[in-house]
Amino acid sequence: MSLATQQQDEMWRRVAIVAPYLWLLVFFLAPFAIIFKISLADPIIAQPPFTPTFDETGSLKASVDSFTFILTDKFYAITYMRSVLMAAAATIMCLALGFPMAYGIARSNPSTRSLLLLLIVLPFWISFLLRVYAWMGLMNNYGVINNFLMWLGAIDEPIQMMYTDFAVLIGLAYSYLPFMILPLYASLERMDLDLVDAAQDLGASRSRAFWDITWPLAKPGIIAGCLLVLIPAMGEYVIPYLLGGPESLLIGRVLFDEFFVNRDWPLASAVAIILLLLLVVPIVLLQRHQARDQEEAV
């Protein structure tokens, strides 16, 4: 191989690294730096509506007013708390429904398995917004569920489901269920079924064998699935907006409104930074987890 072609190869290798790297630095990392910068500014009525980081004399002008405001106003603490609780509740719902489903899929025979799996993935390809919208028609006061229950005679007047926390929970669980099932399925499917037989052979009952063997070995999938539901659910905007009540705010909606309605850019940025801080632990957990998973796969 000639030196020239070797150099050419080396050049292409570099392009393959640098192009995506640069793109992410500019369009992913730099924007985070800017959020951070603006969260330290003060809002003013101007275009853009925040004070510059350096004033005319060139000295640094950072203000933590937005952060103090968020940390002292009870409203934000409650909203963050509600977001965490809602996301956690949705995660538990997804796990409770998703685990037996993933188990059933992983243990069915190969031809049905691929069809069942396809039916889990299919909703991914249909608009998220429209899937949430579908529940509006179901949970309305005069929607399908209420009409059906009234026709049955189970209730006399409609139950208020829309614009409640219940509706938001259903919406979250519905939208994120596939995110739970897929990693669970992956870890259950690669489990050696002989292990469960071996446990039973050694004296464990069916349920004992499940808790001794299946559950701990599915743990990687459980952790990944829970984090994949929990993290995006914390910042969810569309579901609480369409299905939730006006007084039960979640943090994603607050961020959106601070920005677009109140035009307080520094405050919106500060809200985002604090949300990000809340998410750092689960995100790092998930990434470390996936890195380990990949190493094991090699």
Partner 1 sequence: MTHHSRFIISVLSFGYAFLYIPLLLVVIYSFNDSAIATVWGGFSTRWYGELLQNDLILDAAFLSLRIAVTSATAATILGTMAGLVLARFGRFKGRTLFSGMIFSPMIMPEVITGLSLLLFFVTLQQLTGWPGQRGFSTIAIAHTTFAMAYVAVIVQSRLMAMDESLEEAAMDLGGRPLRVVFDITLPLIAPAMIAGWLLSFTLSLDDLVIASFVSGPGSTTLPMYIFSKVKLGVSPDINALASMIIAAVSVGVAIAWLVSRRIARTSSNT
Partner 2 sequence: MKDFICIEGVSKLFGDFKAVDNVDLEIGQGELFSILGGSGCGKTTLLRMLAGFEIPSSGTIKIDGVDVTNMAPYDRPVNMMFQSYAIFPHMNVAKNVGYGLRKDGIAKPEIKKRVDQMLELVQLSELETRNPNQLSGGQTQRVALARALIKQPKVLLLDEPLAALDKKLRERTQFELMNIQDELGITFVVVTHDQEEAMTLSGRIAVMDEGRFEQIGTPKEIYEFPTNRFVADFIGTINMFEGIVTVVGENQIQVYSDEIGETLTALGRQLVEVGQEIDIAVRPEKIFVSKEKPADEDGVCVQGMVDDLGYLGNRSLYRIRLKSGKIVQVSSQNRRRSVTRFLEWEDKVWISWRPRSAVVLLD
Contact positions with partner 2 (CB under 8 A) in 194-253 = 194-195, 197-205, 208, 212-213, 216-217
Q: Which is nearer to partner 2, 55 or 201 (CB)?
A: 201
Residue indicated by tokens 């469960």: 196
- Closer of 28 and 203 to partner 1 (Cβ): 28
For partner 2, give the closer residue by CB, 160 or 205. 205
Query: Does 30 contact partner 1 by CB under 8 A?
Result: yes
Task: Tell me whether residue 15 or residue 78 sits nearer to partner 1 (CB atom).
Answer: 15
Task: Tell whether residue 172 is a contact of partner 2 (CB under 8 A).
Answer: no
Please state the closest distance from residue 202 (CB atom) to partner 2, in A: 4
198 binds, among partner 1, partner 2, none (CB under 5 to 8 A by kind): partner 2
Q: Is the dihedral of CA 65, 71, 74, 79 positive or negative?
A: positive
- Rounded to the nearest whole angstrom, what is the least distance from the CB of residue 226 to partner 1 in the complex? 12
Map the footprint of partner 1 across residues 161-190, applying CB under 8 A.
174, 177
- Alpha helix stretches (DSSP H) within 144-192: 144-152, 165-189
- The reply on whether position 276 binds partner 2 by CB under 8 A is no
* Contact in structure between 95 and 226 (CB atoms under 8 Å): yes
Q: How far apart are CA 149 and CA 231, in angstroms?
A: 35
C-alpha distances out from residue 201 to 158, 205, 206, 211, 259, Å: 53, 9, 10, 15, 62
Is 97 within 8 Å of 177 (Cβ atoms)?
Answer: yes
Residue 103 lies near partner 1 (rule: CB under 8 A): yes
CA distance 127 to 64: 39
| Angle between helix 165-189 and 110-125 (nearest 10) | 140
From partner 2, partner 1, none, interface partner of 1 (C-beta below 5 to 8 A by class): partner 1
Does residue 27 bind partner 1 (CB under 8 A)? Answer: yes
The burial class, CB within 10 Å (0-12 / 13-18 / 19+), for 169 is buried
CA-based nearest residue to 213, from 191, 189, 183: 191
123 binds partner 1 (CB under 8 A): yes
By CB under 8 A, residue 110 contacts partner 2: no
Window 199-238: contact mask with partner 1 (x via CB under 8 A): ----------------------------xx--xx-xxxxx
